[in-house]
Amino acid sequence: MHTPNFNTYGARSGNHEVMIRGTFANVRVKNLMLPPTEDSSRIEGSFTLLNITEDETFSILGVDGEMQPRQELTLEITRKDGSVEQVPALSRIDTPVEVEYYRHGGILPYVLRDILAKA
């Protein structure tokens, strides 16, 4: 495959998971919200950078059927020793349309359901 086609492969194949992986694997996508770093496992929250290691698990609390744009959520980090830390977080689902995409499991399922509803 030629380099210019990398970003469209997932979309053309219609595979939501491939599109997600392609976004995170795209070296041209720059995270402008964080300062440059070699540690890609950092998450920014309320001016605090959290270092999450592979020994920790996390859950996002507050994501339910009543999701709203830019909703305040809670990131719950469970450490290897069993301790739990809760950190406030802001959802980056920014618009009502993005909320609908989220509720449908992504853009592709949303579009397919819309096409089927009109058929």
* Domain ranges, ordered by start, for the chain: 1-30, 38-118
- Give the model confidence (pLDDT) of 49-72 as tens digits: 566 677 888 888 988 768 899 999
Report pLDDT for 54: 79
59-96: b or e for each residue (b if 16 or more CB lie within 10 Å)? Answer: eeeeeeeebeeebebebbbeeeeeeeeeeebebebeee
Report pLDDT for 53: 74
Report pLDDT for 48: 53
Give the residue ranges of the chain where pLDDT is below 70.
1-52, 65
Report pLDDT for 74: 92
